[in-house]
Amino acid sequence: MKLREYEAKKVLREYGIPVPAGFLTRSATDLPAHLDQLGDNVVLKAQVDFGGRGKAGGILMTNKKNAVATAQSLFGKEIKGLPVQEILAEQRLDIRHEYYLSITVDRSSKQPLILFTESGGVDIEITAKEHPEAIHKVIANPLMRDIPPFMIRELVGTAPKEIGPIINKLYRVFLEKDALLAEINPLVTTPDGVFAADAKLIIDDNALGRQGFSVNRDLTEREREAEKHGFSYVELNGSIGVIGNGAGLTMSTLDLIEFYGGRAANFLDVGGGAESERVMHAVRLVGSVPSVKVIVVNLLGGITKCDEVARGIIKAAISQKVIVRLAGTNEAEGRAMLSAKGYEMLDTMDLVVKKAVEVAA
Ligand code: GDP
Ligand code: MN
């Protein structure tokens, strides 16, 4: 789950990382009561759930006198289609240089990966492509509570020494908050010292409970419903719904859809041993996405019984076309039930996917 900038900055502040003075506001009229704590130069930052706000017009420079009017205009805006509901008002920094600092999990070494570059403020992906040598990398042993000085030197290079302790503090945040990403972009130098001008913190969903979050608010209502039933469910942006059992079968169904030029709208893995009720919920959930024109059900009966699957599909009684491939335990019974109700069944995964791509087109 991704924290908003003001939430992430609150965490950084708790760990002693300097962040600009600021406060969150949900209405422009609330501003004057708190403006005194910011000084004359003010920056207003829309708290929306994606990066690149600067370029999208979500960050406005203003001053104490014009802050209310500027906030009014920002509240009236949509940033990439999303209305601005929260603004972080901050003391505007006199930025001399922008650096980039992040900590993620390196998938191959399975250890924290710390990145630092002197060209911050821009997308790290662009720097990685155009000047990969400018990105300094260090793999940290998660059993260490501190990053040793030689590693800090490797990261910081010729950048100001004050950055060293900030790296160590961010590393603590990363470990103790069960983060998948802790990023400061830009980390800036000013005449008053070094500050985290922006902050991004993604908490591992598996740790939300112990981190004190009751729900993952990034989930859509459908994703939450899926979680309740214990389905693995992901939304994409095509028009074919996909139901499979097992990650491998579900993923290869998706691959095949791409292969035949189709696009999946979503996919759902019902898991093993699905009873008819479960299958019914799965079919309804996948079919509840308005863009779904056709659903591919690709299930292998093992512990899962094909007649239970058939019963579930029939009970779901959704309006879209459902194309089914069933094989394995109680296959004959399942097929007989579905064909009695007029469902289209094909013998192989290849055939069902081809057919679904045709229907969707
Ligand atoms: P993002 O675009 O969503 O990543 O938002 P950021 O918070 O990173 O801001 C984008 C850019 O706005 C930064 O790289 C800075 O160049 C600029 N910016 C943000 N805050 C300040 C500030 O207090 N003072 C100045 N001068 N520039 C700022
Ligand atoms: Mn940023």
Question: What total of structural domains would you count in the chain?
Answer: 3
Task: Please check whether residues 108 and 86 belong to one and the same domain.
Answer: no
Task: Please check whether residues 277 and 344 belong to one and the same domain.
Answer: yes
Task: Please check whether residues 286 and 350 belong to one and the same domain.
Answer: yes
Query: Atom 20 of ligand 1 has which residue's CA nearest to it?
Result: 197
pLDDT for 82 beyond 90: no
Which residues contact residue 139 at a Cβ distance below 8 angstroms, ignoring those fewer than 6 apart? 106, 109, 111, 112, 113, 114
3-state SS, one letter per residue, for 177-205: CCEEEEEEEEEEEECCEEEECCCEEEECH
- Percentage of residues of the chain with pLDDT beyond 70: 100
- Of 152, 172, 207, the residue at which a domain comes to its end is 207
Give the per-residue pLDDT at 233: 95
296 backbone dihedrals φ, ψ, rounded to 5°:
-100, 120
pLDDT for 302 beyond 90: no
Task: Please check whether residues 199 and 236 belong to one and the same domain.
Answer: no
Is ligand 1 within 6 A of the CB of residue 51? yes
In a domain, 11, yes or no: no
Length of the chain (residues) = 361
Task: Please check whether residues 47 and 117 belong to one and the same domain.
Answer: no
- Of 58, 76, 91, the residue at which a domain comes to its end is 91
In a domain, 212, yes or no: no
In a domain, 1, yes or no: no
Query: Atom 13 of ligand 1 has which residue's CA nearest to it?
Result: 121
Ligand 1 nearest-atom number relative to CA 54:
2
- Of 61, 91, 121, the residue at which a domain comes to its end is 91
Task: Please check whether residues 148 and 185 belong to one and the same domain.
Answer: yes
Span from the CA of 120 to the centroid of ligand 2 (angstroms): 9
In a domain, 256, yes or no: yes
Question: Do β-strands 41-46 and 59-63 pair in parallel, antiparallel, or remain unpaired?
Answer: antiparallel
Q: What's the pLDDT band for 310 if we cut at 50, 70, 90?
A: very high
| Strand partners of residue 25 | 87
Give the per-residue pLDDT at 51: 80
Spatial distance between the Cα atoms of 113 and 102, rounded to a whole number of angstroms? 8
Q: What's the pLDDT band for 328 if we cut at 50, 70, 90?
A: very high
In this predicted model, which residue has the larger pLDDT, 20 or 122?
20
Is ligand 1 within 6 A of the CB of residue 57? no
Task: Please check whether residues 200 and 251 belong to one and the same domain.
Answer: no
* Average pLDDT rounded to a whole number, residues 18-29: 97
In this predicted model, which residue has the larger pLDDT, 155 or 224?
155
Q: Which ligand is nearest to the CA of 101?
A: 2
Give the per-residue pLDDT at 299: 94
Spatial distance between the Cα atoms of 50 and 342, rounded to a whole number of angstroms? 45
In a domain, 3, yes or no: no
Contact (Cβ atoms closer than 8 angstroms) between residue 328 and residue 302: yes
In this predicted model, which residue has the larger pLDDT, 6 or 145?
6
Q: What's the pLDDT band for 10 if we cut at 50, 70, 90?
A: very high
Q: What is the CATH number of the domain that holds 84?
A: 3.30.1490.20
Q: Find the domain containing 123 and state its range.
A: 97-207
Q: What is the CATH number of the domain that holds 133?
A: 3.30.470.20
Residue 98 bears catalytic tag: no
In a domain, 195, yes or no: yes
Q: Which position among 100, 171, 233, 343 bears the catalytic label? A: 100
Task: Please check whether residues 264 and 243 belong to one and the same domain.
Answer: yes
Alpha helices in 19-91 (DSSP H): 67-75
Q: Which ligand is nearest to the CA of 99?
A: 1
In a domain, 9, yes or no: no
Residue 322, classed as helix, strand or coil, is: strand
- Dihedral angle over CA of 65, 71, 72, 75, nearest 10: 180
Q: Of all helices (H) and strands (E), which one includes residue 176? A: helix 163-176
Is ligand 1 within 6 A of the CB of residue 187? no
- State yes or no: cis peptide before 160, omega within 30 of 0: no
Give the per-residue pLDDT at 219: 85
Spatial distance between the Cα atoms of 162 and 214, rounded to a whole number of angstroms? 37
Residue 344 bears catalytic tag: no
360 residue type, one letter: A
In a domain, 343, yes or no: yes
Spatial distance between the Cα atoms of 174 and 138, rounded to a whole number of angstroms? 15
Spatial distance between the Cα atoms of 20 and 23, rounded to a whole number of angstroms? 10
Residue 138, classed as helix, strand or coil, is: strand
Spatial distance between the Cα atoms of 302 and 338, rounded to a whole number of angstroms? 19
Task: Please check whether residues 45 and 125 belong to one and the same domain.
Answer: no
Contact (Cβ atoms closer than 8 angstroms) between residue 222 and residue 235: yes
Is ligand 1 within 6 A of the CB of residue 186? yes
Task: Please check whether residues 260 and 341 belong to one and the same domain.
Answer: yes
pLDDT for 234 beyond 90: yes
Q: What's the pLDDT band for 311 if we cut at 50, 70, 90?
A: very high
Task: Please check whether residues 87 and 106 belong to one and the same domain.
Answer: no
| Residue 162 CA: distances (Å) to CA of 158, 168, 194, 303, 357 | 11, 11, 7, 60, 57
Task: Please check whether residues 103 and 86 belong to one and the same domain.
Answer: no
Q: What's the pLDDT band for 216 if we cut at 50, 70, 90?
A: confident
